[in-house]
Amino acid sequence: MAHVADADFKTRLQSWLPKLVLSPSLALVLVFVYGFIIFSVYLSFTDSRLLPSYGWVGWENYSKLWRLSHWEVSLKNMGIFAALYISICTVLGLSLAIFLDQKIRAEGVIRTIYLYPMALSFIVTGTAWKWFLDPGIGLENVLQTSGWTTFEFDWIKNRDFAIYTVVLAAVWQTSGFVMAMFLAGLRGIDNEILKAAQMDGASNWNLYRRIIIPQLRPAFLSAFVILSHLAIKTFDLVIALTGGGPGRATELPATFMYSYTFSRNQMGIGAASATIMLMTIAAIMIPYLYAELREKK
Amino acid sequence: MSVATQDTAIRTGRVARTLIYLVLLLFALFYLLPLYVMVVNSVKPLNEITGGGMMNLPQVFTLEPWAKAWSSAQIGVEPTGLQPYFWNSIKMVVPAVAISTVLGALNGYVLTKWRFRGDTILFGLMLFACFIPFQIVLIPMARMLGLMGMAGTTQGLVLVHVVYGIGFTTLYFRNYYAVFPTELIRAAQIDGAGFFQIFWRILLPSSGPIAVVSIIWQFTNIWNDFLFGASFAGANSQPMTVALNNLVQASHGVKEYNVHFAGAILAALPTLLVYIVAGRYFVRGLMAGSVKG
């Protein structure tokens, strides 16, 4: 009798074990991700300043936020940065992938060189580009001392152009990764269709335009989703490269949130800006993840 | 990934090929440029850099900047060099990578071989957590670490990195185990093997390739993290990236660019080495992931 109960307990345990094993991770995610999101969103409706405080103020933080020129500048910069970063990375990644797909000698070496920036920290990338672009010691100084005295390249110190140096460094860091995604897509294309089209006399240009590139749709989508969420999260690179300056010329929502929350003691406004960042990413990620997970069923 | 070796059927002429090689070479130089700048300038005296020689090979070769960056440069208030911060990073990265990978493997196993109602939704919740802008959790996380007595500690950072890394490790193992034949598992079950026995004897021995991907991914992400380190680390737990930023941004004294470059390489070396040694598996894993979608 005891033996039967024991066996029964064992099978019951076996059927619960998988859920038991999953539960610590799930608990961590529920508390530290979703619980925290709720807490932050709640804070964005309170009068929190240096520390969290629970006086309800409704939409006040949001209306204050949208009146701040600092926030407006951050959003404008994000618009320029995201548009250029996403489009340049995509075009460059696709072009390099197509070139690299032409039975290139030493493909492995070239691929390694294109991809290594992905392994570096944005702080390292930022440091390298910061001094290379610095007019005092970098490119401008190098060319001027070597005789081209009228050469000027001070974008990183120029309010109107500094944001483009952030684009340059960010593209340098991620375009190789995008190239790898497109290359994987290209390698998955069925050669028989291409051969048939070649027999019909299609030019390479038409093969790419009409057959190959349309088949890369999933790679385009993944690249867009990954790049846009990276763009919205860009923080370290700006800190290392320009510190948000000159003035506010390279401030982005992520740096705005950080300075309002931790150095200007405007936690309510900081939380409001973080909420807007989250909503933007959710609008891109949720439909994507939903479609991905449904397909796999 | 057998498709990765498949050659394209596209044929190109001689002129086009020359142009293609030229473009590929040009971009190789573009990607190598910052590395070149960092390396050559980390082994020359400061006056060669300020004198307009940033792009030249060193005239006088010196390892002084490396020594200084490692053991005597002023970081914050102490002239300790980057050395203690390097060890802080190691102490944070090793346990965080190990724990998140083990949890990811177990989660992936449950989510593919012990499926239950609603498991896809749970996985979706874990996956979305990877992509949130971390600004949304900074404030409550700071409070939580304080409540748990882990504010400013390495353990606190380990916890943070485990929590926000689980989604990715689970994703990797789930995709990998999804194509593992379920018949083998059913057969083992009939023979009386339990939950952990099946995992230990059947799945784990063939998990090498995906474990490598998960470890490299987590190692790179956690080593390179700046936001969490800057927000939650204390004086004795600051990671390498935060220390490097403090070194480079220091506003007092002469700017020692050569020391900055040496420091940047020191901060990049571990992930760069991992990439060079095990990069092939990493790329293969990334490609497998993106092809499957």
- Confidence class of residue B264 from pLDDT cuts 50, 70 and 90? very high
Question: What number is the ipTM of this complex?
Answer: 0.89
Assess whether pLDDT exceeds 60 at residue B292: no
Asked if residue B77 belongs to a domain, the reply is: no
B98 and B40: one domain?
no
Instruction: Give the per-residue pLDDT at B50.
Output: 86
Which of B71, B101, B118 marks a domain boundary?
A: B71
Q: Do B264 and A128 touch (CB under 8 A)?
A: yes
Q: Do B3 and A25 touch (CB under 8 A)?
A: no
- Confidence class of residue B3 from pLDDT cuts 50, 70 and 90? very low
Asked if residue B93 belongs to a domain, the reply is: yes
B46 and B177: one domain?
no
Our measurement of the distance from residue A155's CA atom to the centroid of its chain's CA atoms, rounded to an integer in Å, reads 23
Q: Do B110 and A285 touch (CB under 8 A)?
A: no
Asked if residue B236 belongs to a domain, the reply is: yes
Is A204 an interface residue toward B (CB < 8 Å)? yes
Is B2 an interface residue toward A (CB < 8 Å)? no
| More confidently predicted of A197 and B86 | B86
B91 and B219: one domain?
yes
For residue A223, what is the nearest residue in chain B, using CA coordinates? B290
| Per-residue pLDDT tens over the stretch B131-163 | 999 999 999 999 999 999 998 999 999 999 999
Q: Do B163 and A119 touch (CB under 8 A)?
A: no
Is A96 an interface residue toward B (CB < 8 Å)? yes
Identify the domain containing residue B235 by its residue range.
83-292
Is B189 an interface residue toward A (CB < 8 Å)? no
Is B251 an interface residue toward A (CB < 8 Å)? no
Q: Which domains does chain A have, with CATH numbers?
A: 67-295 (1.10.3720.10)
Assess whether pLDDT exceeds 60 at residue B5: no
| Per-residue pLDDT tens over the stretch A53-64 | 888 888 989 999
- Confidence class of residue A244 from pLDDT cuts 50, 70 and 90? confident
Asked if residue B78 belongs to a domain, the reply is: no
For residue B113, what is the nearest residue in chain A, using CA coordinates? A18
| Per-residue pLDDT tens over the stretch B172-192 | 899 888 888 888 888 888 888
Which of B48, B71, B94 marks a domain boundary?
A: B71
Q: Do B245 and A123 touch (CB under 8 A)?
A: yes
Q: Do B8 and A116 touch (CB under 8 A)?
A: no
**Average pLDDT over every residue of A11-27:** 86
SS3 (DSSP) at B18: helix
Q: Do A37 and B132 touch (CB under 8 A)?
A: yes
Instruction: Give the per-residue pLDDT at B25.
Output: 95
Token readout for A197 is 């089209």
B157 and B50: one domain?
no
**Average pLDDT over every residue of A172-186:** 91
Interface test with A, best of B248, B257, B290 (most A CBs within 10 A): B290
Compute the distance between CA of residue B141 and CA of residue B147 in angstroms, rounded to an integer. 10
Instruction: Give the per-residue pLDDT at A3.
Output: 59
Q: Do B264 and A191 touch (CB under 8 A)?
A: no
**Average pLDDT over every residue of B208-216:** 88
Asked if residue B114 belongs to a domain, the reply is: yes
Q: Do A127 and B103 touch (CB under 8 A)?
A: no
Is A287 an interface residue toward B (CB < 8 Å)? no
B101 and B195: one domain?
yes
Which positions 29-48 of B are in contact with A (Cβ < 8 Å)? 30-35, 37-38, 41
Instruction: Give the per-residue pLDDT at B1.
Output: 35
Q: Do A187 and B4 touch (CB under 8 A)?
A: yes
- Confidence class of residue B4 from pLDDT cuts 50, 70 and 90? very low
- Confidence class of residue A2 from pLDDT cuts 50, 70 and 90? low
B211 and B276: one domain?
yes
For residue A27, what is the nearest residue in chain B, using CA coordinates? B163
Interface test with B, best of A10, A21, A23, A25 (most B CBs within 10 A): A25
Instruction: Give the per-residue pLDDT at B288.
Output: 55
- Confidence class of residue A4 from pLDDT cuts 50, 70 and 90? low
Asked if residue B40 belongs to a domain, the reply is: yes
Is B21 an interface residue toward A (CB < 8 Å)? yes
Report chain B residues whose CB lies below 8 A from the CB of A188. 3, 291
Which of B23, B39, B71 marks a domain boundary?
A: B71
Instruction: Give the per-residue pLDDT at B290.
Output: 41
Number of separate domains in chain B:
2
Q: Do B20 and A102 touch (CB under 8 A)?
A: yes
Q: Which residue has the tokens 């060193």?
A: B58
Assess whether pLDDT exceeds 80 at residue A175: yes
Residues 6+ apart with CB under 8 A from B190: none
B115 and B190: one domain?
yes
Pick from A17, A222, A295: CB nearest B290: A222
B44 and B100: one domain?
no
B276 and B246: one domain?
yes
Report chain B residues whose CB lies below 8 A from the CB of A39. 139-140
B33 and B160: one domain?
no
Instruction: Give the per-residue pLDDT at B53.
Output: 83
Q: Do A233 and B276 touch (CB under 8 A)?
A: no
| Per-residue pLDDT tens over the stretch A51-100 | 888 888 889 899 999 999 999 999 999 999 999 999 999 999 999 999 99
Asked if residue B76 belongs to a domain, the reply is: no
Check which CATH number belongs to the domain holding B226 and give it: 1.10.3720.10
Token readout for A169 is 């460094």
B59 and B123: one domain?
no
**Average pLDDT over every residue of A282-289:** 91
Half-sphere exposure for B247 (CA within 13 Å, toward CB) = 36
For residue A131, what is the nearest residue in chain B, using CA coordinates? B257
Size of the A and B interface in Cβ pairs below 8 Å: 301
Q: Do B28 and A289 touch (CB under 8 A)?
A: no
Please state which of the ranges A32-36, A63-67, A192-196, B236-240 shows the lowest mean pLDDT. Answer: A192-196
Which positions 45-104 of B are in contact with A (Cβ < 8 Å)? 49-55, 103
B144 and B263: one domain?
yes
To the nearest whole angstrom, how far is the Cα of A50 from the nearest Cα of chain B?
A: 11
Q: Do B144 and A32 touch (CB under 8 A)?
A: yes
Q: Do A18 and B116 touch (CB under 8 A)?
A: yes
Q: Do B52 and A274 touch (CB under 8 A)?
A: no
Asked if residue B164 belongs to a domain, the reply is: yes
